[in-house]
Structure 1
Amino acid sequence: MIELFHINHRLEYVTNQIAEDCPYFFAKREHYEKINKYVGKRGLVAEEDNINLELQLAKYSLEFMKQALLDCRRVNCSSESNIRIEKYSILFQYTTARSSYSAWMKDSQPLTPNEASKVYYFHGYSNNKVVVFDTFTAMKQGTQSASFTLPYSFAGTGHVVYWGNVYYRRLNTQNIIKYDPLKMKTIVKQVNDVDAGNTCRYAWGGYTTTDFAVDEYGLWLVYGNRSNICYLVIAKINPDTLDVEKSWETTIDIRGVGNTFMKCGVLYATNSYNAQSNYIRYTYDTNTGKQESLSSSKIPFRQPGTSNAMLDYNPHDGLLYYSDRTYGYLATFPIV
């Protein structure tokens, strides 16, 4: 009964997001719920199994609505890769991040309001500790609510939290990891072309040979191909199994860019990690297979620090998350 309550609570939250963003998909949800209720009333199982039936239907409904939410957000994507990175909406100095290549983020697709407000902090680029704060304010005040230990140390700063799971690369290996901190369940998958060391990495180093990303299309892995002179590969990842569903090879050398992020199936790569007057130098659209080199005036990006360590887009709140090593700046930027 407790599990059923939690699943229904998550289902309600996801459904409300769809109702707000995509009324069309919300209508599809109502039809699906009618089918579920009809199945229950038909008495397909014995009375004593009614709770189990409700639980299975709730789980299935949640998976259905999670996919509907992704479909909804894809519909809202523009067909053009013309974005604008606006001035930061949040900027503060986090002392722990000063002089340290660190990552911070919110869940890219939370399942409850409480999960939506949580902030996750990963200290350094080779560690196995994750610190959790209830809100941005709590993080600014240094008031952590929880922490947990990953089964293996992470490499780099290219981690994401998605549907409550942590995705990252294991240090000194080609293995990517999915870890559920609530169930303490781990899935491991080897990606053969990934550099297990520190050669095919972003310009600043730090074992950033892989970079997970989440956008309106789901989960991605961006990495430097050790078999092809460190050119960036964009891989669409199944979030349940970690299988590579499809991949795109670019001619962008990972060693020549500062960082990357994904939005609406498009890769955006920055020109530098240490120039405050930065810009998007390359784009690669997986929808069309088109790669472009951009001028410095096309998509400028004014970063507050002088040593960018992490850059990730969150499709749930529409913000670009940024961390700086030198001063410990953490910032978010609206993307329009």
Structure 2
Amino acid sequence: MELTSERLKHAILGEAAVKLRHTPYSILDDETFVVMEESEAMYVPDLGVGCGLISHVEDPELVKKSGRMFGFWGTDSTRNSDRVFIMEHFYKNAKVIEFENLAEFRAPTSKPRIHTMPYNWGGTGHLVLNDCIYFNRFNTSNIVQYSTIEKKIVNEVEIRDAAFGNMAPYQWAGSTDFDLAFDECGLWLIYATLQNSLDIVISKLNLETLEIETTHRTNWRKQWSGNAFMACGVLYVLKKYDEKYTSLNYIYNTHTDTYKYVDIPFTNAFEWNTMVDYNPRDKQLYCWDKGHQLVYNLSMEASDAL
């Protein structure tokens, strides 16, 4: 069906998003894309830290099996610190568990530190940066920054027009409408809007204020995605979260505002991978797969090699 009215299209999208929830649907726009030379389209600057495009993802290394089926784990991406943070489940939880280092996290018994957030979080797309915990406040379009030093919220910003409340999650739902990411280029938010037909939107956030600085609108439906992450200013989409042998199948380059379909093999060792984060400190992926905490080593090549 062709919708000649932009207003009608958004009205239908809005009603469908509320009524259908997790039922797949789509309205395709007839748009003409400018085809660029591949080397130009996929150019990624080195940024002085060996940036490029991911060419290979190694098999995962098991760090530990702990916690619930769903969750977040990671380290502070901006501090030279070994502290490990755990945020179990995707809702009805506000307790962040902090371990002094990886050895303490792996130990059968330990005495971790507990941080209690003022609100429950939604999803598993959290971050820890500069001694602060960043998360989406459950069932809202608000991004919260909580200082573990000051023990209080230092920023809370509403992301206007963003879909929330499981309107635009990843494939497995779980209130994953928002996914925070940090890479060599800064702080990002991966989400979706009705204005972009519930396709993925990538916004770069100011580290101090959480205000949106730049926005990139992709042509890839967020609910088609098993998960996603940012590395060197490039969005990578995981095809499936619940198949052992899958792939990274779509990339979007924010440096050139161009996209490409790829096939980079990826293994979900326990076939229920509900969190994928890139850490620029060690250039590894951190994943939470069916209650198992994993890391993946990556290979990057010059940006015209993929």
- 1:121 match: 86
- 2:19 match: none
CA distance in 1, matches of 2:88, 2:244: 23
- 1:47 match: none
Map Cα deviations across residues 187-238 of structure 1 (whole Å, 9 max, x no partner).
1111012222112010000000000000001110000223332100000000
CA distance in 1, matches of 2:230, 2:54: 13
Of Structure 1 and Structure 2, which has the larger fraction of its residues in helix?
A: 1
Contact 1:131 1:144 in 2 (8 A): no
Q: Establish whether residue 76 from structure 1 lines up as the match of residue 39 from structure 2.
A: no
Among 171, 174, 177, the residue aligned to 2:138: 171
Of Structure 1 and Structure 2, which has the larger fraction of its residues in strand?
A: 2
Distance 1:215 1:144, change over 3 A: farther
SS of residue in 2 equivalent to 1:255: helix
Among 229, 233, 253, the residue aligned to 1:261: 229
Among 278, 292, 299, the residue aligned to 1:329: 292
Map Cα deviations across residues 117-154 of structure 1 (whole Å, 9 max, x no partner).
11000010012110011122211224242011112111
- Quote the sequence identity (%): 31
Among 273, 277, 301, the residue aligned to 2:245: 277
Aligned AA for 1:124? H
Aligned AA for 2:102? F
Q: Establish whether residue 135 from structure 1 lines up as the match of residue 101 from structure 2.
A: yes
- 1:213 match: 181
Deviation at residue 83 of structure 1 after TM alignment: 2.9
Larger Rg: 1
CA distance in 2, matches of 1:106, 1:289: 30
Deviation at residue 92 of structure 1 after TM alignment: 3.9
- 1:184 match: 151
Contact 2:58 2:297 in 1 (8 A): yes
Alignment of 1:51-130 (within 5 A): 74-78=47-51, 80-88=52-60, 90-97=61-68, 100-110=69-79, 112=80, 116-126=81-91, 127-130=93-96
Distance 1:180 1:73, change over 3 A: farther
CA distance in 2, matches of 1:159, 1:274: 21
SS of residue in 1 equivalent to 2:271: coil
Aligned AA for 1:91? L
CA distance in 2, matches of 1:144, 1:310: 25
Contact 1:261 1:267 in 2 (8 A): yes
SS of residue in 2 equivalent to 1:139: helix
CA distance in 1, matches of 2:98, 2:244: 29
Q: Establish whether residue 155 from structure 1 lines up as the match of residue 118 from structure 2.
A: no
Distance 1:82 1:122, change over 3 A: closer
- Say what the alpha-carbon RMSD is for the aligned residues: 1.6
Deviation at residue 93 of structure 1 after TM alignment: 4.1
Contact 1:304 1:329 in 2 (8 A): no
SS of residue in 2 equivalent to 1:84: strand
Distance 1:289 1:87, change over 3 A: same
CA distance in 2, matches of 1:201, 1:182: 31
Contact 2:237 2:248 in 1 (8 A): yes
CA distance in 1, matches of 2:54, 2:66: 35
Unaligned runs of at least 5 residues, structure 1: 1-71
Aligned length in residues: 252
Higher RCO (CA < 8 A, seq sep 6+) = 2
Distance 1:247 1:77, change over 3 A: farther
SS of residue in 2 equivalent to 1:130: strand
Aligned AA for 2:277? D
CA distance in 1, matches of 2:117, 2:239: 32
- 1:319 match: 284
Deviation at residue 310 of structure 1 after TM alignment: 0.2
- 1:30 match: none
- 2:208 match: 240
Aligned AA for 2:56? R
Contact 2:90 2:122 in 1 (8 A): yes
- 1:24 match: none
TM-score (norm 2): 0.79
Aligned AA for 1:335? L
Contact 1:73 1:216 in 2 (8 A): no
Unaligned runs of at least 5 residues, structure 2: 1-44, 300-306
CA distance in 1, matches of 2:276, 2:193: 20
Map Cα deviations across residues 14-49 of structure 1 (whole Å, 9 max, x no partner).
xxxxxxxxxxxxxxxxxxxxxxxxxxxxxxxxxxxx
Deviation at residue 175 of structure 1 after TM alignment: 0.7
Runs of 4+ in 1 over 3 A off after TM superposition: none
